[in-house]
Amino acid sequence: MNDDKDPLDDIVKTYEDLIMPVNWIKIFPTMEDFRKWILLGTIQDIERTIKEFEEYELYEHCAVMLDVLKERKARVAEVMGKIKKQK
């Protein structure tokens, strides 16, 4: 019997399985729920998440993230334009 196994290995494995995009999306019952979660992220968060989801070929989810990203960047540009006009 091999008692050299680190007891944290199972916890780490469970965590790694949970955060895999193919498993993570199971948390969201609908694409709208997924979108609401994406709305919580920053532009950088969304960009990194898209890269991870692309690796798993979750393109429908990537499309949702790209839409949110486009909206977020447009909003930032709009706010920056207003700031420039005030100067």
pLDDT tens for the chain, residues 1 to 87: 456 788 888 888 888 888 899 999 999 999 999 999 999 999 999 999 999 999 999 999 999 999 999 999 999 999 999 888 887
Q: What is the pLDDT of residue 32?
A: 98
DSSP character for 40? Answer: T
Crossing angle (nearest 10°) for helices 43-55 and 59-86: 160
CA angle 60, 61, 65 (to 5 degrees): 120
pLDDT, residue 3, reads 63
Tell me, what amino acid is at 30? T
Q: So what's the pLDDT on residue 83?
A: 87
Predicted model pTM: 0.79
Q: Where are the domains of the chain?
A: 8-86
